[in-house]
A and B are shown apart, each in its own frame.
Chain A
Amino acid sequence: MSGSSNIVAMKKIVQQLRFEANINRVKVSQAAAELQQFCIQNALQDPLLTGVSSSTNPFRTQKVCSFL
């Protein structure tokens, strides 16, 4: 009967909301600071951020080989 299935569905929704409501949360100031810290610490290892020099770029323009 649709009445009881609505109740079953609502009970699941309530149970899920209870679960989500009970998690521990961290302050935005702390979470944001940690994201910033991660970016800063890894900046030098980020080729798209620092730019790729042609000597280390596996995608540098394909040159024709020549025999010397």
Chain B
Amino acid sequence: MSELEQLRQEAEQLRNQIRDARKACNDSSLSQITAGLDSVGRIQMRTRRTLRGHLAKIYAMQWATDSRLLVSASQDGKLIIWDSYSTNKIHAIPLRSSWVMTCAYAPSGSYAACGGLDNICSIYSLKTREGNVRVTRELSGHTGYLSCCRFLDDSQIVTSSGDTTCALWDIETGQQTTTFTGHTGDVMSLSLSPDSRTFVSGACDASSKLWDIRDGMCRQSFTGHVSDINAVIFFPNGNAFTTGSDDATCRLFDLRADQELMMYSHDNINCGITSVAFSKSGRLLLAGYDDFNCNVWDTLKGERAGVLAGHDNRVSCLGISSDGMALATGSWDSFLRIWN
């Protein structure tokens, strides 16, 4: 037997070992455990604010940690910082490349970042001495589009790319500190763990992976989806995460059990999920869909608890503020809505 053939066999054996180990832990299900729990009932939310100003499809948004400001990115070539309470625009930042696919707000509130088909993650200083907003770094190195970026702090940012890798960058030097390789398809989304030690990525290879930020290792890999994963988000306690996919399902994966615990789907739902978020307790899972709606799911019981209709085009992004007070949705209809 050739060495290559031996290695292939060993890989097959290891995959079977993982499958068997997961099965051995599969002594129950989340549905069974929560069978006696009261359902959340009907969850209804109203649009409280409509943020108008973008002139083209909105592709991404993120709340600032103050739960009041938020940043959105549109292919009209602008990054807008909004005051969601008043709907005022704090900054309207013209981008060097209008093909933006992601944006992020630094936890300190001092920086924003964005990137897209230019393959670059651009860092913007929002609090310059002169009072204007300017690019302070252009992080280049990815050989594919920038699909997602998230600040660890003012000096470090994690990115995911169509080149199948993720990277941790030192913003000061502009260099990649760590490269995370392993996915075999475009990486579409990432989510930082609450303790910032790990992150989860979702890719077009239909798998999601847990990465150790410090040593660059992939700790766990999860399969189950049958099409591209477009969105990932950590459960608030850091022990689980949910993914949203083109296969019209969201799935909850538990890190400690190393397997899928729940699938959120319905026969009437046949379109892809673009974005996912958890409410503050994790009990509600919010998901944005290609059919212009946002569905509210009971995370523990797997039932749909509500539908948020209002956008006139695909919901491309959404996020819940850190105080848990509001959901923001962004759409291809060029508007953002704030709901609660």
Contact = CB atoms under 8 A, between A and B. Distances in A.
Given A14-B14, A25-B22, A59 B281 contact: no
B8 interface: yes
Nearest to B5: A10
B236 interface: yes
Interface string A23-62: 1011111111111101111110111110010000111110
Contact of A57 (B218, B279, B299, B340): B340
Contacts of B282: 35, 38-39, 42
Interface in B23-51: 24-30, 32-34, 37, 40, 43, 45, 48-49
- Give the interface centre of B21, B236, B256, B280 by most chain A CB atoms within 10 Å: B256
A1 interface: no
B217 A58 contact: no
Given A25-B258, A31-B239, A46 B281 contact: yes
Contacts of A6: 4
Interface stretch (B56-64, B128-136, B166-174, B320-328): B320-328
Nearest to A34: B239
Nearest to B256: A26
Nearest to A37: B237
Given A31-B261, A34-B239, A49-B40, A59 B300 contact: no
A32 B40 CA distance: 17
Contacts of B30: 28, 32, 35-36
A25 B259 CA distance: 9
Indicate the size class of the contact surface on chain B: 35 or more
A31 B18 contact: no
Contacts of A19: 217-219
B220 interface: yes
B235 interface: yes
Contact of A20 (B3, B48, B220, B256): B220
A66 interface: no
A20 B220 CA distance: 6
Given A17-B11, A35-B254, A46 B27 contact: no
Give the interface SS of chain A, mostly helix, strand, loop or mixed.
helix
A18 B48 CA distance: 51
Interface string B114-136: 00000000000000000000000
B166 to A, nearest CB: 15
A51 B18 CA distance: 42
A23 B255 CA distance: 10
Contact of B29 (A13, A32, A46, A47): A32
A31 B11 contact: no
A32 to B, nearest CB: 4
Given A35-B240, A43-B283, A23 B220 contact: yes
Interface of A: 3, 6-7, 10-11, 13-14, 16-21, 23, 25-36, 38-43, 45-49, 52, 57-61
Given A23-B220, A59-B48, 10 more contacts: A10-B8, A13-B7, A16-B182, A16-B218, A20-B14, A28-B30, A34-B237, A38-B236, A47-B280, A48-B320
Interface of B: 3-4, 7-8, 10-11, 14-15, 17-18, 21-22, 24-30, 32-34, 37, 40, 43, 45, 48-49, 68, 84-85, 182, 217-221, 235-237, 239-240, 254, 256-259, 261, 279-284, 299-300, 320, 323-327, 338, 340
5 contacts: A20-B221, A35-B237, A39-B281, A48-B320, A49-B43
